[in-house]
Amino acid sequence: MLGDGNPALAQGSDLDRGLLKQASEIAGLGQGTIVVSSDGSSHSANPIADKLLTAAGGDRLAVHDLLYGTNLDCTVTEGHYDAQSHVANLLNHSWNGHDDGIAKVIETAGHDATSADPTVNRQSGEASWALANYVSTHSNELLHLGGTDHSIGMLDPKMTKALGSTLGAYIPDMVAADEGSFGTHGFGAIDQSHVKDIFAVIDSNKDAARDFNRAAYASITQMNQQFGSSGGSENSLGEFAGRIDAAAQAGAKLEVAGRISDAAARLNEEKAIFDSVKDVIPFGAKHLPRLAGLTEKWAGFTVSDFSELGSKMATPGFKDWLFGSTPDIGPNVDLKGEDSQAKRLYNILKGMTLTPDHPNYSQNPTTGQYFDSKGEILSFEAIKALDGKNGDNSLAHFNQQMRKLPGVLEYENGWRAGHDDPSEPKPK
């Protein structure tokens, strides 16, 4: 019956608020919990919570209130609704393949990020901030669900992709860019030292990492061009762009470092099991994860032949041969070259040509060589190829020339400042 009604009539209804709140609390019981309904039938918690979230997850107002904590005090006995604990139930949870509903909730939260309606725009920002704020301060739990080495990107791919899609619109807000300067409102302050954690969590899924980081560097490009179109006056954009790049680079490293650490821990655990049983004969292969279930002749011996296995296990170097070393693990997103100074300055020059009454840069002795005979700016690849080689000389010369333009040095100083490790939260 949940899906039979008219969704338009339920928008902002207490019914939808109740369904979403109930779903969060069921999820908080744990995925293995059995929920008994009023008719005495029993159901697994995850499918039930998923159905509730799917039914009410398209209600923009109800989703906002669930995540941001407004209009829900009346639903709790003590009169104070704890929004963050309900967000935690939804995000810090293994949905075990039932993450369509929570993905719908997250997508609804940020659907109207740039709405022309100021109220809707603000509410979208507030709901999205609630998600980002939780992720930024609970990255370790989200990268190790239930204390395991499994991240939400591995176990809840749809939810993770939805997070990346919703929060991508708010990347400038995350680094404390001026509210409204990129069309968004309502997104509160994020501790600058934890912005990288948002990237790390979303980077735990390869598809989400690709799209979220594309949004990040699209924001940087936009800032570069906006600085250029301002005539080199909005120097603060350099620092905001630098903060985004720093968070993206650090987040990718943080996420992959966690997976490497987890793999090393698993390897050490298996070696510890090996050491605890290698002198015991007969030896049960079931004690060793890498040998459990093997029946064929393997590595020169039959696993079922425990006496022979026991003698081989005592051989020097056998343990290292059996387990090897931590496997090569790479980041889920390739950011090489994304922080290129030449690309950054090129976008600034493009921005400078976008203003209606801009100077004729094609006739400027500093920049004229980077325009064609029609006065159009050359492509980045064409500028790179000016030296007839691999671009090292031409791009270095381009960078040198660009730094002669008004405000560019200050912008670059801001970019470097954005990479400083923030020791204190910087309020918006």
The pLDDT tens digits for 16-42 are 999 999 999 999 998 777 766 666 667
Q: Which two tokens stand for residue 232?
A: 């080199």
Q: Residue 424: is its pLDDT beyond 60?
A: no
Q: What is the mean pLDDT of residues 307-333?
A: 53
Contacts of 58 (CB under 8 A, 6+ apart): 7, 104, 108
Considering only residues 298 and 324, tell me which one the structure prediction assigns the higher pLDDT: 324
pLDDT band for 10, please (50, 70, 90 cuts): low
Contacts of 158 (CB under 8 A, 6+ apart): 99, 100, 102, 103
Say how many C-beta atoms besides its own lie within 10 A of residue 84's C-beta. Answer: 14
In this prediction, residue 191 carries a pLDDT of: 97
Q: Residue 12: is its pLDDT beyond 60?
A: yes
pLDDT band for 354, please (50, 70, 90 cuts): confident
Q: What is the mean pLDDT of residues 159-174?
A: 98
Say how many C-beta atoms besides its own lie within 10 A of residue 128's C-beta. Answer: 30
Count how many Cα atoms sit within 13 Å of the Cα of residue 148 in the half-sphere of its side chain: 10
One-letter amino acid of 1:
M
Considering only residues 77 and 402, tell me which one the structure prediction assigns the higher pLDDT: 402
In this prediction, residue 281 carries a pLDDT of: 42
In this prediction, residue 200 carries a pLDDT of: 95
In this prediction, residue 329 carries a pLDDT of: 64
Angle between helices 100-110 and 45-56 (to 10 degrees): 30
Q: What is the mean pLDDT of residues 84-106?
A: 97
Residue length of the chain: 428
pLDDT band for 286, please (50, 70, 90 cuts): very low
The pLDDT tens digits for 216-238 are 999 999 999 999 998 888 999 99
Q: Residue 375: is its pLDDT beyond 60?
A: yes
DSSP label at residue 74: G
Q: What is the mean pLDDT of residues 397-404?
A: 95
Q: What is the mean pLDDT of residues 252-257?
A: 89
pLDDT band for 215, please (50, 70, 90 cuts): very high
In this prediction, residue 392 carries a pLDDT of: 82
| Distance between start and end Cα atoms, the chain | 45
pLDDT band for 188, please (50, 70, 90 cuts): very high
Q: Residue 299: is its pLDDT beyond 50?
A: no
What DSSP assignment string belongs to 264-309?
HHHHHHHHHHHHHHTT-SS--GGGSTTTTT--SEETTEETT-HHHH
Closest CA to 255 of 308, 174, 198: 198
Tell me what percent of the residues of the chain surpass a pLDDT of 90. 62
One-letter amino acid of 82:
D
Mean pLDDT of the chain: 84
